[in-house]
Structure formats: C-alpha cells, structure tokens
Amino acid sequence: MSMKLGVNIDHVATLRQARYAGSLGSHNCEPDLCTAAEVCEQAGAHGITIHLRADRRHIQDADLAALRPRITTKLNLEMGNTPEILAIALATRPAEVCIVPENRAEITTEGGLDAAGQSEALAPTIARLQEAGIRVSLFIEPATVQVEAARKLGADMVELHTGAFANACGDEQRAELERLIAAATLAHGLGLQVNAGHGINYENIALLHAVPHLAELNIGHSIVARSVFVGMAAAVAEMLEAMRRDPR
C-alpha cells in the first residue's frame, strides 16, 4: 500500500494571523484557508489536517466551520483532550481526529501523547468520538508501551511522532529510525493503522521508506515553507513525488 499525504495547513493560518488576528470575516483577510485546502486537494493531497488549539494561535473555530463542508477528501482534526475542543469536534464531525498533547508555552507539539499514563482520561473521549462515527488516532512516541496503550484504548490509528528522528543525525537518527520501524511493526500487528508526522521534510522523507506499514504521513511546515518559493500546488506535488520515490 502506498503512503497517503495529509497536508497540515496550520501555518497558512499562522501567516494570516500575523497580520489579521482578530479580523476574521474582513473581505481582505488573507491567505484564505479554504483556497489553500482546495489547492492541496487539486494537487493530489489525500486529506487536510488542522490543529484547533486551546489558545487559537493559528486555526480558529470559524476556519473549522468553513473548511468542513468544503473539503472533498477528508478532514483530520488534531486536538487536545479538553471538554471544549471535544464538544466542537462532536458538533463538526470531521472524518478523523488525532488526539495530541498540548502545552500553551510550546512553539509546536513537542512530543507524543502519554497514552499509557493518561488512559483513564482518554478512554471516554475516544469512545464519544467513535460513537459519533469519527475515526480516532493517538499521536504517540514510537515506544512499545504507548503502542500497546493505544490498542487497549481502542484507537483506530496511531500517528508516530517523528520529531526525534527528524532532529537527529548520523547514528542517532538511525537509532530513531529503528524505533519507528519497531513501533510500526508492533502497531500493525495489533491491528492499528500506522501514520506518522512531525518534522518530516523533502530530505528526511527518503529514510521513512524503511518504516513498514506506513499508511499516511501528515506534513505541514515543510510544505508551507516550500510553497513560498514554488507555490502550494507544486510543493504538494513535490512531496507526493518524494513519497513515491523509494531509494532502496
């Protein structure tokens, strides 16, 4: 099975918020997220990912409401496990939800969710989402205890946090790659769909072809950054080509 691409458009919203925070609804508020999603889909993306954070630093409630009926592939909503965001997810009903850890002081998500340590809090959230027909993923470290916890919690998918892999070099990166391989193998064996994301770019993606059973990669910052130079459609197309090009 070839990997699918979910494009995270959070940083399109970051660009907008840098100028138009508090001005949503203005006729000249740009860039427009629905247009960004449409361009990504037309370029071949298999889904659109957004993270509605508690602090609303980029994606806003109005964005979710506007995107939900416009997306023709699927909408993957990243969210912290809070009553407020859960209520919004249940009202909006995206195709998928990925539960992530969230810290207001962080620049971006810094690590995986502690599914093993937070199982009591996560279980009712997962159940409510699935009862609403929403597939649930847990964004976890590539560790045995976390994969097993995701399975026990009844998640449909795991998204393996690739941040440590992306930030490492040489032997350290190889060790992180081996962790991803082991976690993906275990997760697949337990019946979980295996996704991955965080820090993946046009260079390190070549190494991820060694990780078995990867169904989907969620990539945002690298694609948005590349789009500054070549445009969003070309940036998505280039990433899709890199995903297809197995160097082994």
DSSP-assigned beta bridge partners for residue 139: 159
Parent domain of 147: 4-244
| CB within 8 Å of 111: residues ≥ 6 apart | 101, 141, 161, 163
CATH number for the domain spanning 24: value is 3.20.20.70
Active site residues: 51, 78, 198
**What is this structure's pTM?**
0.94
Centroid of chain to Cα 199: 11
Element of type H or E holding 164: helix 163-167
Our count of domains for the chain comes to: 1
**Predicted confidence pLDDT, tens digits, the chain (248 residues):** 489 999 999 999 999 999 888 766 556 789 999 999 999 999 999 999 999 999 999 999 999 999 999 999 999 999 999 999 999 999 999 999 999 998 655 455 567 999 999 999 999 999 999 999 999 999 999 999 999 999 999 999 999 999 999 999 999 999 999 999 999 999 999 999 999 999 999 999 999 999 999 999 999 999 999 999 999 999 999 999 999 987 76
